């Protein structure tokens, strides 16, 4: 028996706002999305009242989760500026100047020693595939690794890791991440359908990201690898400002157009004072599975040159290979399923460079607690 919107709204009548008004009558509720046992909605409040509303958000989530037929519920609290103005538009927010302090609200995730972002200027360059295999490579080095799928609009981790189960809740509010191939994983795709994500507005995205960081029992991690949404827009900036990123890795294909976007990515992270740990060239060259001939179909080497030009490290080249696509799309990442193969080796080499960089990234920041046994 699936839950519907009316049932959710009826249940929310029993949840009072800070001034005692039943939640559905406050005008703060977004549309309620309910289907397939999953419920999602947001509460939009004045930025100054967020503290007072947080218990209301929690209560709403509890009440909805207790409804028969509900498997998961996600209630996001989104802050709006005073005066009934439109919510802050993602595109409208000015980029902080170079050297500007990152968001005041920035705080680490307890237990997580280092958070690194895997980003790309544009979608479809293999960012998520790289993020997963890099995470597995770091894990193979003996690190405890988590993966946060921050690509709210197009979550990839359910597919890349063949995860279909729903996260359990702990104590009614916190979520338990899913464990796969030794990685601790959280994705909005575990909670809601992809179609649902399409309707999200900027503030809802930010709130959902914050919740995935702060309301998930990540446990103790040496590294959290964040699969970022593509582009250099608001979600990226929010992550860079809300989370003390130890560094960012940019994935690019060798084509000029992708490189222009990669350049934007590098400059965005530099502007928010996040060290760029390096650039990875994905789909770098093509190895013919039949004859073994190598062809540089996209003009291999572009990302290496670009990295040199920008003065950031070059971390490695991953070939365009059917095996990578097939295994990724089947939820069988190569570093975990064919650890002795040539591709796993490439990702492990990249991971080793990243781990080295993290060890050296301490200057002026809290050094990550990374111990790699020889
Ligand atoms: N090196 C590669 N060789 C072959 N296919 C790849 C490679 N990297 C990624 N892909 C495939 O390209 C598609 C896009 O990759 P994905 O990781 O989802 O990109 P993004 O996260 O940048 O959108 C997927 O089907 C993936 O399997
Ligand atoms: Mg992706």
How many angstroms separate the CA atoms of 14 and 283, rounded? 54
| Residue 212 confidence class, pLDDT cut points 50, 70, 90 | confident
How many angstroms separate the CA atoms of 302 and 335, rounded? 25
How many angstroms separate the CA atoms of 137 and 132, rounded? 9
Residue nearest to ligand 1 atom 9, measured at CA: 126
**Which ligand gives the minimal distance to the CA of 123?**
1
Residue nearest to ligand 1 atom 23, measured at CA: 124
Residue nearest to ligand 1 atom 17, measured at CA: 126
Joined together, the tokens standing for residue 91 give 């595109």
**Interhelix angle for 302-310 vs 256-271, to 10°?**
30
By the CB criterion, residues less than 5 angstroms from ion ligand 2 are 128, 151, 156
Ligand 2 center to residue 122 CA distance, Å? 10
Q: Is 328 in the pocket of ligand 1 (CB under 6 A)?
A: yes
Q: Which ligand 1 atom sits nearest the alpha carbon of residue 131?
A: 17
Residue 274: other Cβ atoms inside 10 A: 23
Tokens 């988590």 sit on residue = 146
Checking if the pLDDT of 16 tops 80, the result is yes
Contacts of 16 (CB under 8 A, 6+ apart): 22, 23, 56
Residue nearest to ligand 1 atom 12, measured at CA: 126
In the DSSP assignment, the letter for residue 224 is E
| Residue 79 confidence class, pLDDT cut points 50, 70, 90 | low
Q: Is 120 in the pocket of ligand 1 (CB under 6 A)?
A: yes
How many angstroms separate the CA atoms of 72 and 57, rounded? 15
Ligand 1 center to residue 151 CA distance, Å? 14
pLDDT tens track for 140-171: 999 999 999 988 778 899 999 999 988 888 87
Tokens 């400059």 sit on residue = 267
Q: Is pTM, for the whole model, over 0.85?
A: no
| Residue 338 confidence class, pLDDT cut points 50, 70, 90 | very high
Please give the mean pLDDT across all residues of the chain.
82
């Amino acid at each position: 028996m699936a839950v519907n919107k009316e049932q959710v709204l009826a249940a929310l009548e029993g949840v009072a706002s800070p001034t005692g008004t039943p939640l559905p009558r406050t005008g703060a509720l977004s549309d309620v999305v309910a289907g397939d046992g999953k419920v999602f909605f947001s509460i939009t409040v004045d930025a100054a009242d967020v503290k007072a509303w947080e218990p209301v958000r929690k209560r709403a989530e509890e009440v909805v989760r207790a409804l028969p037929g509900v498997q998961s519920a996600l209630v996001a609290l989104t802050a709006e500026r005073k005066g009934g103005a439109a919510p802050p538009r993602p595109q409208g927010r000015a980029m902080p100047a170079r050297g500007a302090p990152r968001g005041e609200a920035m705080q680490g995730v307890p237990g997580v020693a280092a958070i690194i972002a895997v980003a790309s200027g544009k979608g479809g360059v293999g960012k998520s595939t790289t993020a997963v295999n890099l995470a597995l490579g770091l894990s193979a080095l003996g690190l405890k690794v988590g993966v946060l799928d921050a690509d709210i609009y197009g979550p990839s981790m359910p597919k890349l890791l063949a995860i279909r189960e729903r996260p359990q809740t702990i104590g009614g509010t916190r979520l338990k991440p899913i464990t796969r191939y030794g990685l601790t994983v959280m994705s909005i795709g575990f909670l809601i359908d992809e179609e649902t994500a399409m309707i999200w507005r900027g503030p809802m995205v930010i709130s959902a990201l914050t919740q995935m960081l702060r309301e998930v029992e990540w446990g103790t991690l040496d590294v959290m690898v964040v699969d970022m949404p593509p582009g250099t827009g608001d979600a990226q900036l929010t992550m860079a400002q809300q989370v003390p990123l130890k560094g960012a890795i940019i994935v690019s294909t060798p084509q000029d157009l992708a490189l222009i976007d990669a350049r934007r990515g590098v400059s965005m992270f530099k502007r928010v004072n996040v060290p760029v740990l390096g650039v990875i060239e994905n789909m770098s060259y093509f190895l013919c599975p039949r004859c073994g001939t190598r062809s540089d179909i996209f003009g291999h080497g572009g990302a290496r040159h670009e990295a040199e030009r920008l003065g950031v490290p070059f971390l490695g080249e991953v070939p365009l290979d059917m095996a990578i696509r097939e295994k990724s799309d089947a939820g069988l990442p190569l570093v975990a399923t064919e650890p002795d193969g040539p591709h796993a080796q490439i990702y492990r080499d990249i991971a080793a460079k990243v781990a080295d960089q993290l060890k050296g990234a301490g200057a002026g920041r809290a050094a990550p607690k990374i111990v790699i046994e020889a």
